[in-house]
Amino acid sequence: MTLRVLGVDPGLTRCGIGVVDVERNRRATMVAVGVVGTAPDETLDQRLLVIDTAIDEWLDRYEPQVLAVERVFSQLNVSTVMGVAQASGVVIAAAARRGIPVALHTPSEVKAAVTGSGSSNKDAVTKLVTKILRLDAPPRPADAADALALAITHAWRAGSGAAVAITGPGSSSLTPAQRAWADAEAKARRSR
């Protein structure tokens, strides 16, 4: 069974959107990726409307089974956090209208899932996303790569058939990040 996840890296100026299909053995394939942009001089209502319209189009076109959205948190720039939170709300509401479940993941969860380290930088995430999805070129800008990383993270963490045992068939095709994630999941299950 393949899980289709639409990942969203929310933002008012650039909102990254990526769709990934993930097989039971964790093999991930990019379906689509893009960035919705709005100009800072537009009114907030118009900016949110642009994001809402784009998300509706992506949901209708790609019919994901779940949305993965970056969890909003920051202590430094309140105005940026507010814009990200507003964009997130629009995305979550669009999914709710269709009955599509939404999962929230922190940036460190995404970094850990994709690279094996929660403190990796954006370049490392982009590099591993490119490798995991077997892309010829890195997705640009970083918001696009982050959206794909969110989708991959959710599918790998969901455990809904997307997981594979390290010693199972096809385990040699796992990336180092996939092996590290599977090891961490197995260790967590043993310690329960």
Active site positions, annotated? 9, 70, 143
- Distance (Å, rounded) from C-alpha 67 to C-alpha 151? 8
- Distance (Å, rounded) from C-alpha 110 to C-alpha 167? 24
Residues facing 32 on adjacent strands: 19
- Distance (Å, rounded) from C-alpha 38 to C-alpha 104? 23
Q: Give the 3-state secondary structure of residue 6.
A: strand
Q: Are 151 and 162 in contact (CB under 8 A)?
A: no
The single residue listed with the structure tokens 């929660």 is: 118
**What's the N-to-C CA distance of the chain in angstroms?**
27
Q: Are 22 and 181 in contact (CB under 8 A)?
A: no
